[in-house]
Structure 1
Amino acid sequence: MALLLGKGRYRARLARTPQDIAAAQGLRTLAFGTEQVDQDGFDPLCAHILVEDTRAGGQLVCCFRMLTMDQGSEVGRSYSAQFYDLSALEGFTGRMVEMGRFCVHPDWTDPDILRVAWGAMTAYVDENNVEMLFGCSSFAGTETSEYLDAFAMLKHRHLAPKRWLPRVKAPDVFRFAARLRRRPDAKKAMLRMPPLLRTYLMMGGWVSDHAVVDRHMNTLHVFTGLEIGAIPPARKRLLRTVVG
């Protein structure tokens, strides 16, 4: 199966060739602003989803990759496990997918791109009986000051259940759950929340109690999990409308 879905001017499909993977790496390099091509040893292990604009000659406008694990005992081989102690998730018994390197072309701002991307993810989840999605959700830059309301919102409303809570592993972290005492300004918080993370949260996703300061990628990121069975029914219907 190559085509996951088509909706309006956009189509989402699985990468099929080395050229497809190279195109995804090129978009990631552009979107993340890295000096060298954004590629690593996880790329050959992952399935890659490409979202293309059919009205722009098939221009690649969004991509992300997925690493599938049959159960939580495999979580140590994920990209996220480099930064977080995920031993609590080793007891998860269902199939898991790590979604990573999500990016949108900086010249494309159409919100339908994100909808099609999530629709493609929904199709993949349904076809592969996935029970949990997870990954690292990134804030641009490594300064925490402009994101304090967003982090306060995460602390008050969206922390991971204790049974799945990731522990600190990275040497440089911002322990927002322990340090922040402020009540979040909801409007400011949502304005500063990354779009991908905002979508996770709307579907019932949760986050780690600390952010990793990743100076190599020039980001702050939080571990983010989403149990498929916990997605509100109305949200599931909306995602499947996109798929349909």
Structure 2
Amino acid sequence: GRLVCCFRILPLAHGGEITQSYSAQYYELSPLADFEGPIVEMGRFCIHPEAQDPDILRIAWAALTRYVDEEEVKLLFGCASFKGTDAGAYLDAFAMLKERHLGPKRWLPRVKAPNVFRFAARLKRKPDARIAMRRMPPLLKSYLLMGGWVSDHAVVDDHMNTLHVFTGVEVGAIPPARKRLMRAAAQ
């Protein structure tokens, strides 16, 4: 009888409408303007801090999966946030994003925000995978498990006290086993 999870979605008919998104305030998204097919921005994916049931996240993803299938969505995108604005606390996570999860060059967002951490250009270190995964935000982990990719820079958002990376998940590139799991939960 209480709200334990919520998220918002902004359906867009195609990439040409991406400038209407929240993400477009922080990222120059013209490379995605040519993306064909329906796209959806996800935002404010939140779970109540006192809610500990792991099924909450599973049910939320199931609802989104059902929507994506029904609307034939081709791309999910949004901003995945790290708590705080100290990039130093997340160097291994950013190094792992650089090494394994940068977006394809043809879709990669460009810098627009005035204050960014250009981790792909600045970091020369090899990530410690254990530390990286411990410091990775849970929502971003979910996106990455679906084959998601990120921008090459993080926006420093002092107002929200976060660092965030643009995140894209091309629905057609989600690994088949992951799709089966998500669709089974959506039934």
Superposition CA RMSD, Å = 0.6
One-letter code of the match for 2:130? K
2:69 & 2:25 partners in 1: Cα distance?
28
Give yes or no for the alignment of 1:88 onto 2:24. Answer: no
Say which SS state the counterpart of residue 114 (structure 1) adopts.
helix
Q: What residue in structure 1 maps to residue 160 of structure 2?
A: 217
Q: What residue in structure 2 maps to residue 146 of structure 1?
A: 89
Query: How far does residue 204 in structure 1 lie from its aligned partner after superposition?
Result: 0.2
Say which SS state the counterpart of residue 130 (structure 1) adopts.
coil
Encode CA deviations 1:127-174: one digit per residue, 9 max, x unaligned. 111000000000001011111100000000000000000000000000
Q: What residue in structure 2 maps to residue 116 of structure 1?
A: 59
2:77 & 2:58 partners in 1: Cα distance?
18
TM-score (norm 1): 0.76
One-letter code of the match for 1:148? L
Q: What residue in structure 2 maps to residue 232 of structure 1?
A: 175
Q: What residue in structure 2 maps to residue 22 of structure 1?
A: none
One-letter code of the match for 1:214? D
For structure 2, list consecutive stretches of 5 or more residues without a partner in the other structure.
none
Give yes or no for the alignment of 1:59 onto 2:32. Answer: no
Q: What residue in structure 1 maps to residue 79 of structure 2?
A: 136
Instruction: Map residues 35-46 of structure 1 onto 2, 5 A cutoff.
Output: none
Count of residues in correspondence between the two structures: 187
Query: How far does residue 111 in structure 1 lie from its aligned partner after superposition?
Result: 1.8
Give yes or no for the alignment of 1:198 onto 2:146. Answer: no
Query: How far does residue 101 in structure 1 lie from its aligned partner after superposition?
Result: 0.8
Query: How far does residue 110 in structure 1 lie from its aligned partner after superposition?
Result: 2.1
Structure with the greater relative contact order (CA < 8 A, sep ≥ 6): 1 or 2? 2
Q: Specify which of 38, 43, 54 is matched with residue 100 of structure 1.
A: 43
Flag the structure with larger Rg.
1
One-letter code of the match for 2:95? A
Query: How far does residue 241 in structure 1 lie from its aligned partner after superposition?
Result: 1.4
One-letter code of the match for 1:197? L
Deviates more, 1:114-123 or 1:82-91: 114-123
Q: What residue in structure 1 maps to residue 101 of structure 2?
A: 158
One-letter code of the match for 2:92? D
1:192 & 1:115 partners in 2: Cα distance?
21
Query: How far does residue 109 in structure 1 lie from its aligned partner after superposition?
Result: 2.2
One-letter code of the match for 1:164? W
Q: What residue in structure 2 maps to residue 75 of structure 1?
A: 18
1:124 & 1:206 partners in 2: Cα distance?
21
Q: What residue in structure 2 maps to residue 33 of structure 1?
A: none
Say which SS state the counterpart of residue 59 (structure 2) adopts.
helix
1:169 & 1:240 partners in 2: Cα distance?
36
- The alignment-based identity, stated in percent, is 71
